[in-house]
Structure 1
Amino acid sequence: MSDSPGGQITVYQDFNMQGNSLVIVDACSDLRPSGMNDQISSFVVTSGVWTFYQDINYQTPVGKTYGPGTYPNVGQVGLPNDQISSLKCVNQIMVYQDLNMQGTSLLITDACSDLRPTGLNDQISSFVVISGTWTFYQDINYQTPIGTTYGPGSYPNVGQAGLPNDQISSLKSV
């Protein structure tokens, strides 16, 4: 059931982690073959950050993103009951304008090709990788790579992480 890198989740047909279940690693673009299409009422995220979709092939996102934890009732966390057809693990990073995770912040899922509209272009001084591995670029549209790749963890000072301060214009998970 794997389409992309990420984590592990167990979905259940009934509330409170009851009924038929399915363990998914990384992603599932179509729950129909598993018999769990439009059947999910609860879930447990073992690892990663997950996004749910009402239609197959990651169409029509619903809810928000869900990290590790137990979710005994999808309706209580903003998901429609028995209306999920695909799901995948996503990569997330929180970037900050100032050192030590201070100042204006922005949560980015999977990629940002141009930080100019966010107000944080050439303004990033610290970051937290929530999930995935990330690469930074000095220019928009992923031009001029800088630093190395960065995995989960806190980076309170981009300079100490090998990145130039206030010179990041795009970033993406790899």
Structure 2
Amino acid sequence: MSDNLGCLGRSEDEVTSGSEASESEEGGERRTPGVKEQHSHCPVDSEYYYYYYYYYYYYYCNYVNIHILIFQIIFYEDRNFQGRSYECHSECSDLTSYFRHCNSIRVESGNWILYEHPNYRGHQYFLHRGDYPNFQQWMGYNDSIRSCRVSPQHQGSFRVRIYEKEDFRGQMMDFHEDCSHVYERFRFHDIHSCQVQDGYWMFYEEPNYRGRQYYLRPGEYRRYSDWGASNPRIGSFRRVHYFN
């Protein structure tokens, strides 16, 4: 698809002015402002040609906007959805300028991973659609949320391979389902490395999906520090399903 048809990264005013079909008289010929300039390379200089590309551009922009706005999360500075708020639709590496602290969250759509510090560092939290009136509801350690990202939709199979030692050594085991108690299945309390082959997963430091959380995307993790942990203790893990 041509780059001329893209509208990502544009302000609302720019998108609006580019999608309204106003007409002007120029040299006796009816034209749609802005369209000819974007497609001045077109070999056929006709009103039909310009209008064809205008409608193509218009519907493409609407298509893109629909998919951008599919994800929505609202951060509130105070408990019970009070105080200053900030609405977010995509990942953000630094939320510092939008709010000072976060004590409640409303997830309208999508699966979100929140981080205690900028650049996706610190404590991690997984939130899906729902209301979280205080930070204890998302198992938060404090009211600091400084970056966030959206977990992509995945509706296929899931597979993760865990290892007893670093660099994929020692005892290993494959999992396709959630595991509420790692020691009962794996006979080890620690996971030193793993390979996420399908889907997205959350690791938890304690059994029954409690304690510190770690978000894992498809890829290789040669040591526990690769998924942001300070020790290899993993008590449970589960798949990140997509919630509408």
Alignment of 1:105 onto 2:180: no
Aligned to 1:33: 97
Alignment of 1:90 onto 2:151: yes
What displacement does 1:44 show?
0.5
Pair 1:96–1:52, CA change in 2 (3 A):
closer
Pair 1:105–1:13, CA change in 2 (3 A):
same
Q: Number of paired residues?
A: 109
Structure 1 or 2: more helix by fraction: 2
What displacement does 1:85 show?
1.1
Distance in structure 2 (CA, Å) of the matches to 1:113 and 1:27: 20
Unaligned runs of 5+ in 1: 98-102, 115-127, 132-151, 153-174
Distance in structure 2 (CA, Å) of the matches to 1:58 and 1:25: 16
**Deviations 1:16-54 (Å, cap 9, x if unpaired)?**
0011100011122111222x14x1000000111011111
- Calculate percent identity across the aligned residue pairs: 29
What displacement does 1:91 show?
1.9
Pair 1:74–1:105, CA change in 2 (3 A):
same
**Deviations 1:99-135 (Å, cap 9, x if unpaired)?**
xxxx942662574247xxxxxxxxxxxxx9627xxxx
Letter aligned with residue 142 of structure 2: N
Question: Tell me, what secondary structure is at the counterpart of 2:97?
Answer: helix
Q: Which of these two proteins has the greater Rg computed from alpha carbons?
A: 2
Aligned to 2:75: 11
Letter aligned with residue 143 of structure 2: D
What displacement does 1:93 show?
3.3
Structure 1 or 2: more strand by fraction: 1
Distance in structure 2 (CA, Å) of the matches to 1:92 and 1:10: 20
Unaligned runs of 5+ in 2: 1-8, 10-67, 160-174, 179-198, 202-215, 221-239
Q: Normalising by the residue count of structure 1, what TM-score does the alignment of the two structures yield?
A: 0.52
What displacement does 1:92 show?
5.0
Distance in structure 1 (CA, Å) of the matches to 2:106 and 2:177: 28
- Larger RCO of the pair (alpha carbons < 8 Å, separation 6+): 1
Letter aligned with residue 11 of structure 1: F
| Residues 16 and 42, structure 1, Cα contact 8 Å, conserved in 2 | yes
Distance in structure 2 (CA, Å) of the matches to 1:86 and 1:96: 26
Aligned to 1:142: none
**Deviations 1:126-164 (Å, cap 9, x if unpaired)?**
xx9627xxxxxxxxxxxxxxxxxxxx8xxxxxxxxxxxx
Selected match of 2:124 from 62, 68, 78: 62
What displacement does 1:76 show?
2.7
Alignment of 1:130 onto 2:222: no
Question: Tell me, what secondary structure is at the counterpart of 1:40?
Answer: coil
| Residues 92 and 108, structure 1, Cα contact 8 Å, conserved in 2 | no
Distance in structure 1 (CA, Å) of the matches to 2:129 and 2:143: 21
Q: Normalising by the residue count of structure 2, what TM-score does the alignment of the two structures yield?
A: 0.38
Runs (4 or more) in structure 1 with deviation over 6 Å come to: none
Pair 1:27–1:104, CA change in 2 (3 A):
closer
Residues 146-165 of structure 1: pairs in structure 2 closer than 5 A: none
Distance in structure 2 (CA, Å) of the matches to 1:27 and 1:113: 20
What displacement does 1:15 show?
0.6
